[in-house]
Amino acid sequence: MSEKIEKTIIIGSGPAGWSAAIYAARANLQPVVYEGTPKPEMIPLGQLAFTTEVENYPGFPAGNVRAFIASAVSRDRHYNLPPAPTGYEHEKDSLPHYAVQGIELMELMKQQAINFGTRIISDDIESVDFTGNVPSLKPASGDAVSARTVIIATGARANYLGLPSEEEYKNKGVSACAVCDGALPLYRAKPLAVVGGGDSAVEEATYLANLDRADKVYLIVRRDQMRASKVMQDRALKHPKIEVVWNSVVDEVLGDGKVVTGLRLKSTADDSTSEIQVGGMFVAIGHTPNTDFLNGAVAMNDAGYIQWSNAFRTLTSAKGVFAAGDVADDYYRQAITSAGTGCMAALDAERYLAELDE
C-alpha cells in the first residue's frame, strides 16, 4: 500500500468527474482523477465523447467555437479534437458557426480541471475497500491508493441492440438519447422510431412526438404489452403522433450509407419481416451503471445505481465516499445534471474534511 493518503480521489472523467475536480482543486483538496482507459462502450471523457453536437449545455450556443477551443485546450491534446462537422453551419456571417461537439466540451472541462492543478492518472480503478478508516482503491496497474475522500463519478452506459447496422449508423440516425439528440437537424420533420416498452421508451417517444417539427413516432415493442406503467402506456396510446408497433424487434437498421432511412422489423409472433421508413432510431432499452468494480461496497438500488444516503446530498453509505453523475442517477442522465452533482460532491467532500479536522 502506498504511504501517501490523498485528500480526494475522483474516479471517472465525464462531466461529473471534471466538475468535481474543478471545485475540489479550487478548494485546495489537490484532487487526483482516475480517468479510466478506452473500452468499446466506455471511454475517458465519458459518454459525451461518443456524440457529435451538444446543443443543450448552457453557455455553449452555436458559434465560432473552434477558435475558442483551440485557444483554451492545451496544444498537446489538439490531436484529440474532432474535425469540424459539416452541414450544421449557421448562416450568420462568413465564420463557421456550429454547436460544440461532445469531445470538444469534455476537453474544455478537462482543461479547466488541469488549470487548477488536478492530477490525472490514465488507469481504471479495479476494486475498492471502504471498510477501514480511510477508503482504499486498487488501480489496474500499481499499488493500492488511499484518500480521505473519494468521489465516484463512473457514469453509466446506454444499452444498444448489438446489431452491426446499428453500430454503423450511430450519430447518423441512431441515438440512445432523444432528449439529447431529438432536436438536432438530422432528425427534423422525419418519421422516427423509439425501441423499447418501458417508461423511458414512452418518455422518449412522447418527447419526440411533442417536438413541433416531429412527423410521426413509431414505438417498437417486443411483446403484445408494455412494461411501462399504466399512466405512461395511456400517454403513448392516446398520442396522435405515436403509433405502437407490437410484437416486433429491429432486425436491421437501413440506410443510404450516410444516414438512416428505415428499419427492417421482425415479428416476434410469426418471424415475418416488414419495413418502415424512418429518419432516426432511438434505442431506449435501459442503461447499465458502471458500478461492478465496487462489488457492493456502497448501497445501490436494484438496477445497480448508487443510492445517496441523504436527499440532495451526494453522501453514500460509506464514510468519506460520495457519488455524482449518472452513476447515481437513473432518471435525468444529462451532462448538466452530472456536472451539477459533481460540484455538489466536491463541496460535500470539502465540508466532510472540514468537520473531521475541527
Ligand X SMILES: Cc1cc2nc3c(=O)[nH]c(=O)nc-3n(C[C@H](O)[C@H](O)[C@H](O)COP(=O)(O)OP(=O)(O)OC[C@H]3O[C@@H](n4cnc5c(N)ncnc54)[C@H](O)[C@@H]3O)c2cc1C
110 contacts 13 by C-beta, under 8 angstroms: yes
Chain position carrying cell 449518472: 326
- For helices 335-357 and 15-26, angle between their N-to-C axes, nearest 10 degrees: 40
* Among the listed residues 284, 282, 280, 250, the one whose alpha carbon sits nearest the alpha carbon of residue 268: 250
Pairing of strands 260-267, 273-277: antiparallel
Q: Classify burial at 31, counting beta carbons within 10 Å of its beta carbon; exposed 0-12, middle 13-18, buried 19 or more.
A: buried
| 40-48, 207-215, 264-272, 306-314 -> range binding ligand X (CB under 6 A) | 40-48
Partners of 244 in the β-ladder = 219
Binding ligand X by CB under 6 A: which of 6, 104, 107, 124?
A: 124
Q: Applying CB under 6 A, which of residues 34, 187, 282, 305 lies at the interface with ligand X?
A: 34
CB of 316 to ligand X, least distance (A): 15
| C-alpha to C-alpha distance for 157 and 115, rounded to whole angstroms | 28
Residue of 9, 14, 120, 178 interacting with ligand X (CB under 6 A): 14
Decide: 287 and 157 in contact? Cβ < 8 Å: yes
| Owner of C-alpha cell 439528440 | 181
Strand partners, 254: 262
Measured from the CB atom, the residue of 40 and 240 that comes closer to ligand X is 40
**Residue 72 interacts with ligand X (CB under 6 A): yes or no:** no
Query: Which of these is catalytic: 123, 129, 177, 215?
Result: 177
CA dist 153 and 140 (Å) reads 17
Q: Which is nearer to ligand X, 174 or 221 (CB)?
A: 174
Q: Does 177 bind ligand X (CB under 6 A)?
A: yes
Let me know: does 34 contact 123? Beta carbons within 8 Å.
yes
Residue of 22, 25, 42, 300 interacting with ligand X (CB under 6 A): 42
Write down the least CB distance from residue 329 to ligand X, Å.
7
Q: Which residue is nearest to ligand X (CB)?
A: 155
- Identify whether 143 is a catalytic site residue: no
Interface pick for ligand X out of 10, 29, 51, 149 (rule CB under 6 A): 51
Element (H, E) at 289: strand 287-289
Give the separation between CA 100 and CA 56, rounded to whole angstroms.
10
- Residue from 6, 22, 25, 47 touching ligand X (CB under 6 A): that is 47
Among 180, 192, 193, 202, binds ligand X (CB under 6 A): 180
Does 262 interact with ligand X (rule: CB under 6 A)?
A: no
Query: Please, which residue, 16 or 150, has the CB nearer to ligand X?
Result: 16
Range in contact with ligand X (rule: CB under 6 A) among 71-79, 161-169, 199-207, 329-337:
329-337
Q: How far is the CB of 231 from ligand X (least distance, A)?
A: 25
Q: Does position 219 bind ligand X by CB under 6 A?
A: no
Cβ at position 1, least distance to ligand X in Å: 19
Q: How far apart are the C-alpha atoms of 53 and 62, rounded to whole Å?
A: 9
Contact (CB, 8 A) for 267 and 161: no
**Which of 93, 124, 129, 180 is the catalytic position?**
180
To the query of whether residue 343 is one of the catalytic residues in this protein, the response is no
The one-character DSSP state at 203 is: H
Of the candidates 124, 181, 251, 348, the residue annotated as catalytic is 181
Cα 125 from Cα 118, distance rounded (Å) = 17
| Footprint (CB under 6 A) of ligand X, residues 336-355 | 336, 338
Beta strands 260-267 and 321-323 are: unpaired
CB nearer to ligand X: give 155 or 197.
Answer: 155
Is residue 314 a contact residue for ligand X (CB under 6 A)?
no
What proportions of the chain, in percent to the nearest 5, are helix, strand and coil? 30, 25, 45
54 is a contact residue toward ligand X (CB under 6 A)? yes
Q: Which spans of this chain sit near ligand X (rule: CB under 6 A)? A: 11-17, 34, 36, 42-48, 50-51, 54, 56-57, 124-125, 153-156, 158, 175-177, 180, 290, 293, 325-327, 333-336, 338
Active-site positions read 177, 180-181
